[in-house]
Amino acid sequence: MTAWSDQPFPRIVDYPAVRRREREISPGAGESQVIYEIQGCSGWLAKIYKPGMAPDDDDLDRLISLPGRLSQDERDLVDASTSWPVARIVDAGRTVGVVLPLAPSGYSGHLSRNGKKIATTEIFAVDMLCQSEQWQTSRGLRVPSSAGRRAIGLLIARIGALFEDAGIVYGDWSYRNALWNPSSDGIYIIDMDSCRFGSRPWVESTGWEDPQVPSGPMDNTTDRYRVGLLVARVLTGERSLVELPMALSRLEPGDPAAAVLVAMTNSQRPKQTRPAIRKLVAALTGDRADSAEAPSKPAVKSGTRPDAKSRPTASPPTAPTTATSATSPTTATSATAPTTSGPHVTNWRPVNRPRERGSPPGTSSNRPPPVTPVPPITPVPPVPPTTVTSPGRTSRATPTPPNVPGQPARPTIRPTARPTGQASSRLPQPPPPPINLGGAVAAAFGLLLIVGFAVALIATLLM
């Protein structure tokens, strides 16, 4: 197997040293003019760029040297699962191509049709995992199990997390750039030389378009979307974007990977809130704590530092309550009184009270101040009631209560005269006095007698 760790080339190689072709792999597509296996260097490819399509020299050199700064486990992943560039090809001081390792055997072979082997060699793309079982069986492929699909998805996620941790934007995640080994369920990522650090130009890939980035530069949030889409299709075998959420819901109940994948591929979710690919790795390995999405950070008010910690404001302390027992007096603290220790109180300061007589200098008493005794109440003769007369009604006055020495004087309420029938807005009116019906009847009867005698006397005189 050819890989970055065992490459025989210097970091920069002259084009005449690798120009002879053993066999042509691809006539060229995209930014490449041709890809061929180098004669005398079995398993190593030369990718020659189209004029003006070569990456920046510094970016390419940085990418070539990156595996040397990775851990051994990460470097093993690079060697086994990526076609990582190992040397930059220059001609007359100008970059014209790059040297890449050839994919190991097992990622290509012969398919069959109706039991007969097809003569042409096919590249086993991940797209074959998203075909029906009937399609896979009819072409002589092993139908992957659910555990096998999960292992493949985990491997893709691990590669994507390595890229993201290193600040690499791959951008071209799709079926054609991810190869599948049906025998070992291995994954191999090609076109690694097109990676960029931080961001890269937009790459068109039908069926893999990021709805949040329809055009323009792509960053790691686009990688999160496309990696999530690729892993979701591998796990479910579902190709349709419309049916994919329903297919994810049919995974094992409570599977954290389903929730992470839905969040990564949700077209309505802002791209900045997509989970990191490392969370997908944790979800696929069953680490629910690491796969859980972090809570949103509270908004920082304008004019404050993002790292400034807010300090709670403690309420002023209240006076303690003294409880007397049969043996000795004890001080009981109210349940609502603030405490002067603990992480929840940071700026509390005791209130300075005057020092009692006999207390040592520099100390203050926490006991409440002594209460001044109230002098005995001296009886005061009652004030005669005052009667206020209004037209048509006599109201009763309320006697003024006596003032107690040592207490503020109570205001005297005096009713004011108002027209009859008008309601008071301050004091309720007493009920009217009862009417003497007997006297009224007698007076009316006497008046009738007088009128009767007068009428009789006038009639007599007229006769």
List, for residues 207-257, the tens digit of each pLDDT value: 888 888 887 788 999 999 999 999 999 999 988 888 988 999 888 888 999
Contact present, 244 and 233 (Cβ < 8 Å): yes
Any domain includes 358? no
Q: Identify the CATH number of the domain in which residue 194 sits.
A: 1.10.510.10
**Structural domain total, the chain:** 2
Q: Identify the CATH number of the domain in which residue 85 sits.
A: 3.30.200.20
Most distant CA atoms of the chain, gap in Å: 170
Are 159 and 96 in a shared domain? no
Are 94 and 210 in a shared domain? no
Any domain includes 185? yes
Are 43 and 173 in a shared domain? no
Are 151 and 284 in a shared domain? yes
DSSP characters for 71-98? -HHHHHHHHHHB----EEEEETTEEEEE
Any domain includes 301? no
Rounded to 10 deg, the angle between the 220-236 and 256-265 helix axes is 130
Q: Pick the last residue of a domain from 273, 291, 309.
A: 291
Angle at 455 between CA 454 and CA 458, to 5 degrees: 85
Are 80 and 173 in a shared domain? no
Are 67 and 154 in a shared domain? no
Any domain includes 158? yes
Are 267 and 207 in a shared domain? yes
Are 285 and 169 in a shared domain? yes
- Token match 């069986």: residue? 137
Q: What is the pLDDT of residue 362?
A: 43
Any domain includes 389? no
The whole-angstrom separation of Cα 342 and Cα 312 is 12
Are 183 and 255 in a shared domain? yes
Any domain includes 460? no
Q: Pick the last residue of a domain from 78, 101, 124.
A: 101
Q: Pick the last residue of a domain from 255, 274, 291.
A: 291
Q: What is the pLDDT of residue 423?
A: 46
Any domain includes 335? no
Are 148 and 263 in a shared domain? yes
Are 17 and 91 in a shared domain? yes
Q: What is the pLDDT of residue 454?
A: 79
Contact present, 172 and 208 (Cβ < 8 Å): no
100 SS3 class: strand
* Residues 347-354: contacts with CB under 8 Å, at least 24 apart: 347/311, 347/313, 347/314, 348/314, 348/317, 350/317, 351/316, 351/317
Contact present, 192 and 245 (Cβ < 8 Å): no
Please list the ranges in the chain whose pLDDT falls under 50: 294-369, 386-398, 404, 413, 415-425
Q: What is the pTM of this model?
A: 0.62
Q: What is the pLDDT of residue 401?
A: 52
Any domain includes 83? yes
Are 97 and 155 in a shared domain? no
Domain that holds residue 226: 144-291
